[in-house]
Amino acid sequence: MVFLNGQYDQGDWWQSFALAAVTLGLLFIFLTKGRSEGKDGKQYPPYAPAGLWETALSVSGSQAPSFMIQMARELNCSVFRMRLPIFGTPMVVAVGEPLLTKAVLTDSGSIKPAVIYKAFHNVTKGPNIFSETNLVLWKHARRGVSPAFSTQHVQRMNSICAQQTERWIKERLVPAIENETAFDIAQAMRDLTVSVLCEAAFEYDPTEEDMRTFLFETETAMREFSFKQSANPMRQWFAWVLPEVRRARLATDRMQAFGFKVMNHYRSLKHHETEDTVIGRIMNNDKYKNDAARAADILTLLVAGHDTTGYSLAWILLNLAQHPHEQTILREELQTMPKEERAQCQAVRNVIQEGMRISPVAAVSSVREIAKDIVSPSDPTIILPKGSIVFLPQILACRNPDVFDAPDEFLPSRWNNPSELQRTAVIPFILGSRNCVGQRLAIAEIHSVIARLCTDFEFFVEDEGTSEYFLTYKPVGALLKARRVQK
C-alpha cells in the first residue's frame, strides 16, 4: 500500500515491493563490499545495534528521534556508526556528545554534504540559502539577507509579532475559552508564526487559503525530498514506481507559484517602510540570477522560520500544560514584573531553554562532511576519519545522561546554574558559519509569545497526542484548553 494525498492506494502495493527488492539487492552489494575500518590502528565509534535496512527505515521514519535515543542507550555511547546507503564515505556517524558536536560544526573544513542536502533543492526547485553547497553563492545570499536581522529590524518584526499575538488571542484563544473547546497547539502556533513571518519579513498578508495551501504543499514536498530522500537517496531513482515522489513534484510547483505571488505583491506596493525587510533584501540583491532563485530563498526562509519557531512554541506550551507546577512558578514570576521586562526574566529563559532541550525541533539534523580527522575532545580514543558523513542529532546531546541528570524530565530549574557542557549541548540554532540566519528573530518571538500567553492564561492538556519527525520534531494531535487567570 502507498500513502498518497491523505489516502492509501491499495493497488500500488507491488510498486513498494519492487522498490524494496531492488533496494535490498543494492544494499546487499554494499554490505558485502570489503571494508577497511580499523586496519589503520585508529579506534572508531561502535556500530549501532541495527542493520542497514532497519536503520534506513528508522532514520527516514516519523520516529527517528526515538530510534537515535534507543541506539545510544543500548550502546551506552552517544557516538556511534550507522549503516546507511550513502556511498563514497569512510563511515556515517551519529554524534550526541556536545564537545565533539561543537568541534564538527565549528571546523572550517566541515561542509554540508551534497548527497544529503541537494535533496532539499527539489523542494524549492533549485539551490537555496539552506542547502547551497557552493560556498560563493551561499555567501552572496547570506550576506544579502543578514542586515534584515539586525537589532533594529528584529525589534520592528517583534513588535509585529506582539500585534499578531494579540490578534490570535482575540480571534482564536478567547473564543476557545468561552466555548470551552480544545485547540491543536502545534497548528495554532504554526499558523501564528506564519502570519508573523509573512507580514514582518515579506510584507505579505496571506489569506486563509494561502496559508492552508502553502502549509499542505510544503509538508508534502518536504516529507519526500528533505526527509525521505535525505536518509535514503535511492528513492529519487524510483519516481516511476513511487506516486509519493510524483505528488511531491507537483507540490513544489505550487510552492514556487506562492513564492512568485509574494514577489509580485512586493513589486506592486508603491511604498516600503524600509528596504531592509527580508523580502526587500532578496528582491534588491542582484547576485540572484533570476526570480526562480529568489523564490527559492523566500520559500526556504518562510519554511525554516515557521517550522522551527512555531513547533518550539508548541512544545514549550505543551510541556508547561503537562507540568502545572512549573506553569505556576512561571506565571507567579511574570505577574510580579513590569510588562516590558517579562520576556527576558529568568523564569521565561529557563522554561524556553528546557523546552528546547527536551523537545528540540531539529531533533535529528544537522549533517556535515568533515575535511580532516576529528578527535573527540572528551575521549581522545574516538576518531572521526576525514570524509565521514556526520549526523548531529540534537536530541542525543539534549537527552545525554552523561550531561543531564534525569534527561527525560522537564525541569526548568536546571538552568538556574547550568554547567558549560550543558550550555554547549543545547544549540537549537546550530553553531558555525552555517548557523540559522534568523535566530535572533526566532529567540525574540519565542520569548515574547511565551511571556504574553503565560502571564494571563493557564493551559491544560485535553489530549497529549503523539510526536512525529520529518525534518522537524513536532507534537501531533496535542489538544490544549485554556482559561484566563486573575492577576
Q: Binding site residues for heme, as ranges?
A: 436
User: How many CB atoms are located within 10 Å of the residue 375 CB?
Assistant: 15
Radius of gyration over every alpha carbon of the chain, rounded to an integer in angstroms: 23
As a dihedral over the C-alpha atoms of residue 153, residue 278, residue 221, residue 316, rounded to 10 degrees, the angle is 0
Grid cell in block for residue 40:
589503520
User: What DSSP string runs through 396-420?
Assistant: HHHT-TTTSSSTTS--GGGGGS--H
Grid cell in block for residue 479:
489538544
CA 362 to centroid of chain Cα atoms: 4
- β 79-81/479-484 pair status: unpaired
Contact criterion met (CB below 8 Å) for 482 and 173: yes
Measured N-to-C along each axis, helices 185-202 and 439-456 cross at an angle, to the nearest 10 degrees, of 130
Measured N-to-C along each axis, helices 346-358 and 324-335 cross at an angle, to the nearest 10 degrees, of 150
Please give the annotated binding residues, written as ranges: 436
The burial class, CB within 10 Å (0-12 / 13-18 / 19+), for 276 is: middle
CA 348 to centroid of chain Cα atoms: 22
- β 383-384/374-375 pair status: antiparallel
CA 68 to centroid of chain Cα atoms: 16
Spatial CB neighbours of 277, under 8 Å, sequence gap ≥ 6? 148, 153, 200, 201, 202, 203
* Distance spanning both ends of the chain, measured CA to CA: 55
Closest CA to 148 of 285, 268, 265: 285
Measured N-to-C along each axis, helices 185-202 and 151-168 cross at an angle, to the nearest 10 degrees, of 140
Runs of H (alpha helix) within 86-180:
98-106, 114-124, 135-145, 151-168, 174-178
Contact criterion met (CB below 8 Å) for 259 and 228: no
User: How many CB atoms are located within 10 Å of the residue 196 CB?
Assistant: 27
